[in-house]
Structure 1
Amino acid sequence: MEIKNANSFKIGPSKFDIIPATLSHCESLMEFGKDLPSFYSNIEFLKKDLSDPLKCFFIAIYKDLVVGFISFFKLYDEIHLAYIYVKKDFRNMGLGTRLFKFAYEKFFLKGKEIWLEVETSNTTACLFYTKLGFRIVYRRKNYYGENKDAWIMKREA
């Protein structure tokens, strides 16, 4: 099911169901790879990560359509926000914030520092992460390729 111009009417963030992603959601998650070049290119890697207890994936569903997701992983004593993504037609409705808060409550995030990296040119994402309580720690040169730097951001425990 595809919904066009969801922003033409107001959908409150409570209208979306957020649930843990399972293997049955792999095909829907792989669709996000069209908009996220760094996302999984191999469904088998995604399936492996969905089964990993040190990783979490939650999806946002609206009328049986997966419209967003969030993914974290634990690396030693660090928590990393790997992805947070909402389909274009469902942005600016509070869904990204709701995904983050939901994952924060359900995954082992309470009392932990959370790290992420974001391309320095992605000002929209930087502003969003700042609203979630992240701050820029340092710049990593050429992280995304030649002349494509990353901000390393951290949210305190």
Structure 2
Amino acid sequence: MTLEIVLEGPQRLMGKDGKTAFVIREATTKDLNDVIMINRKVLPENYPTWFFVEHLEQFPKAFIVAEIDGRVVGYIMSRVEYGWSNIQKGKAVRKGHIVSVGVLPEARRLGIATAMMLRAMKAMKVFYGASEVYLEVRVSNTPAISLYEKLGYKVVGRIPGYYSDGEDAFLMACPL
């Protein structure tokens, strides 16, 4: 991916359709109602309000939203942890964790998720010292798995029954 991501201030980008402009930027507390609405609308895994607030307060540089015409249409919520590497077995590292990604259906296929992922990953490395990043994804979520693979993630494990409906998750990781 050759997209040049900046880490300070809003970044205006052109969608893959060549006509829809969007902005990616750090989330603010004013965005949380929109973020929670997107989470409830597009993902079966929902979190309490305090969970979003906590991530925004602790890792503001890696909590990213996307807007089209001033309307929030996507978000990525991340954190940084210290623990065993998912890539270099037996090594303790600072690692980023992509907790949740959501984009409204009408804003998909424009490159928004890719841009938000790249900005969050870069922020986790630059601002929080992460040397790798990981995420969990439903084994049936082929579009998301494809996106993550394009960004350099590899499946490093499988978590049986990870989701509340019993579906397994792939654990995917990427060096930063």
| Runs of 5+ unmatched residues, structure 1 | 1-6
2:122 corresponds to 1:105: yes
| Runs of 5+ unmatched residues, structure 2 | 1-14, 83-93
The alpha-carbon deviation at position 102 of structure 1 amounts to: 1.9
2:172 equivalent among 126, 147, 153 = 153
The alpha-carbon deviation at position 142 of structure 1 amounts to: 0.8
The alpha-carbon deviation at position 56 of structure 1 amounts to: 2.8
Q: Give runs of aligned pairs for residues 135-150 of structure 1, distance below 5 A.
A: 135-145=154-164, 147-150=166-169
1:119 equivalent among 125, 128, 138 = 138
Q: Give runs of aligned pairs for residues 71-86 of structure 1, distance below 5 A.
A: 71-76=77-82, 77-86=94-103
Task: Quote the residue 1:130 is aligned against.
Answer: 149
Q: Is the 8 A contact 1:70 1:84 kept in 2?
A: yes
The alpha-carbon deviation at position 19 of structure 1 amounts to: 1.3
CA distance, structure 1, for counterparts of residue 76 and residue 60 of structure 2: 14
- Provide runs of 4+ in structure 1 moved above 6 Å: none
Counterpart amino acid of residue 119 in structure 1: R
2:113 corresponds to 1:96: yes
- The change in CA–CA distance for 1:133 and 1:117 in structure 2 (over 3 A counts) is same
The alpha-carbon deviation at position 111 of structure 1 amounts to: 6.5
CA distance, structure 1, for counterparts of residue 170 and residue 98 of structure 2: 13
2:45 corresponds to 1:35: no
Q: Pick which of 141-150 and 45-54 moved more.
A: 45-54
Q: Is the 8 A contact 1:70 1:99 kept in 2?
A: yes
Q: For 1:109-139, what per-residue CA distance to the aligned partner results, in whole angstroms no more than 9, with x for missing partners?
A: 6762111110101111111111111011111
Q: For 1:40-83, what per-residue CA distance to the aligned partner results, in whole angstroms no more than 9, with x for missing partners?
A: 2x323322321114873110011111011112111112211112
TM-score scaled to structure 2, two decimals? 0.74
TM-score scaled to structure 1, two decimals? 0.82
- The change in CA–CA distance for 1:106 and 1:147 in structure 2 (over 3 A counts) is closer
The alpha-carbon deviation at position 151 of structure 1 amounts to: 0.5
The alpha-carbon deviation at position 156 of structure 1 amounts to: 2.0
Q: Is the 8 A contact 1:54 1:74 kept in 2?
A: no
Q: Which secondary structure state, in structure 2, belongs to the residue aligned with residue 142 of structure 1?
A: coil
Counterpart amino acid of residue 128 in structure 1: L
Task: Quote the residue 2:19 is aligned against.
Answer: 11
- Equivalent pairs counted in the alignment come to 147
2:47 corresponds to 1:70: no
Counterpart amino acid of residue 105 in structure 1: K
Counterpart amino acid of residue 64 in structure 2: F
CA distance, structure 1, for counterparts of residue 81 and residue 61 of structure 2: 9
